[in-house]
Chains A and B, each alone.
Chain A
Amino acid sequence: MKVLKHSMINAVFVGLMSFIYSFLFIFTSNHIEFFRLNSKCKTIQSAFWNGWSDFIIRGNMKFIGYVIISLTLIILLIIFLKRRKEYDEYQISILTRSLIVAGVLSIIMIPIIIIQLLSDPNYTIETIFFFAVVQWFGVLITDLIFVIKY
């Protein structure tokens, strides 16, 4: 994890992943062929998942994409304004821990999504989007606190 000592690695990683997520969310909003994948009409009618499904179908994911872009720009601005070239070992340990948490979340989530797909594909797209939003917002907010504090 020594590579994390360079603040530019943090900036590039957050910038690149945020670009991918925000592109995905903004691009898929309002795409009718994508909406067909949402399957809430055939489901057990969970109020929460139906609400989330409606949120996606109304094309609101683009707003989540805009929030991701905004948060990322704030993080990048703080990194560049602070002009810190390298983090020390304590800061690297904190950054590493936050990335491990995000990684563990992904590791846990993949089999859950596979089981869901194999047993009952209802709400699968909604679940994947929900997980992606929660996970990436978690990473961005953690990184924002990190760059403000250190």
Chain B
Amino acid sequence: MKGDLILKNIIKQLREQCGLTQAQLGAKVKVSRQAINAIETSKFDPSIWLAYDLAKFFNMTIEEIFDFEESGRK
């Protein structure tokens, strides 16, 4: 199952809670709107540094944003 191999995450919910667009969140963590969209739709796993930047921006831990338990290991 392709979807199971990608890290599940709550980026979209967090972004919407902050009232940000994908482009605005992308600008905050220095990536493109397409990158945020790909992470939200589970098409792309971010690097550890991007995951760190996202976690730092939302003032959470990486584990709170990305569900390692429910996602399949690559």
Contact = CB atoms under 8 A, between A and B. Distances in A.
How big is the A interface, by class?
Answer: under 10
Interface string A74-105: 00000000000000111101000000000000
Contacts of A88: 30-32, 35
Interface stretch (B1-9, B43-51, B57-65): B43-51
Contacts of B50: 89
A84 to B, nearest CB: 9
Helix, strand, loop or mixed for chain B's interface?
loop
A149 interface: yes
B13 interface: no
B35 A89 contact: yes
Interface residues of B, number: 11
Contacts of B47: 89
B10 interface: no
A149 B33 CA distance: 11
Given A90-B32, A91-B34, 12 more contacts: A88-B31, A88-B32, A89-B31, A89-B35, A89-B47, A89-B50, A90-B31, A90-B34, A90-B39, A91-B32, A91-B35, A150-B34
Nearest 5 CB-CB pairings of A with B: A90-B35, A88-B31, A88-B35, A88-B32, A90-B44
7 contacts: A88-B32, A89-B31, A90-B35, A90-B39, A91-B35, A93-B44, A150-B34
